[in-house]
Structure 1
């Protein structure tokens, strides 16, 4: 298994998971649409070698430019459909599974809840979203069958601004291979047993995906 194979597996997985998890603040007025490229440093845990590589994805956010102190606000994000590959550099893929993407929030606001809706061809596993006061984690167990066109669920977040002014920012979580913001697993058929290849990725550098002023 080479670097190129691992890179393309993780790139497809990231494209599905990260855009699906582009959790966005929104408001009835004064919204801003921002498109941000994100590069992630990744490490694949292959049975024969540890592969390091980079992958990238562009995230479009639709956010309010500002909210008032102590105001509540919500946001949504969706991903475009994509086709799960049947092979990577000549190596067949049977499925992708176990997407786990975490976003982190900083500044004067707290996440109060999140929910999911929709999605198609995402397998028999039930997607979930969990929150803390400063993070949101999307999990899509799959399996996502090779050759199918997948639409990830829409995610909606509720948040409350603090009673102080400042700037709320959203980023992909993670600072190292051992502290990844994205985890994903590819399954490659192999005799006698399939290869299960997890990868961990973190943003490098870590751009701001959304920025909201609390006034």
Structure 2
């Protein structure tokens, strides 16, 4: 049973990798992000590493007190139908956190576009802007997460950098649940992830 649960967890975590595929922003920089992930179910814990490219767009410079816009635009993805030897029923309850950059003030943020993910929302939670997708998104289904736009005001000086949130499994920046079918029974595998190391997605110099 322990071996079965371990395979389930590893497959469940891998099943969600496409959710972070970000693409399609003009003049974007592409970063390869390494995530450390931990999944738990049926009393068993499994850890693994995930790698994902992220495209981001921001101006190279901005005047002190000036306005700037940062955009993250997801591309089209497909939920896998298999997690190891198990069938993926759906994925749900995904949250992805982006820290508010230092040396800037948030004026507004919004989501636009996307399809196939159920209901999506965005909110500021502490010092993070968090995109939430409820799902469920069925195994084998195509979907596109909405684009996230951040409208900021630059501070007096310094550099405005953007990254992805998360420093540990208990301070995760990416969370999700994959429901898999094991011997005909649905089992949820909650998974928490953090970028290791945290990437610098964009850098805007004030001046």
TM-score normalised according to structure 2 size = 0.89
Alignment of 1:13 with 2:5, yes or no, is no
Matched residue, 2:205: 213
Aligned length: 203
Matched residue, 2:86: 91
Matched residue, 2:162: 170
Alignment of 1:69 with 2:72, yes or no, is no
Alignment of 1:59 with 2:54, yes or no, is yes
Distance in 1 between residues matched to 2:184 and 2:85, nearest whole Å: 19
Q: 1:128 is paired with a residue of what secondary structure?
A: strand
Alpha-carbon spacing, 1:14–1:214, altered in 2? closer, same or farther (3 Å): farther
For residue 105 of structure 1, report the CA deviation from its aligned partner.
3.4
Q: Which among 123, 126, 141 is matched to residue 130 of structure 1?
A: 123
Q: Which among 178, 184, 201 is matched to residue 193 of structure 2?
A: 201
Instruction: Please give the root-mean-square deviation of Cα atoms over the aligned residues, in Å.
Output: 2.2
Query: Unaligned stretches of 5+ in structure 2?
Result: none
Distance in 2 between residues matched to 1:44 and 1:132, nearest whole Å: 23
Deviation string 1:88-134 (CA, Å, 9 cap, x unpaired) is: 121101000111010113331022221111221112xx211112684
Matched residue, 1:27: none
Query: Unaligned stretches of 5+ in structure 1?
Result: 25-30
Deviation string 1:165-213 (CA, Å, 9 cap, x unpaired) is: 1011111111111000000100012357411111000111112111111
Alpha-carbon spacing, 1:112–1:133, altered in 2? closer, same or farther (3 Å): farther
**Conserved in 1, the CA contact under 8 Å of 2:79 and 2:138?**
yes
**Conserved in 1, the CA contact under 8 Å of 2:6 and 2:45?**
no
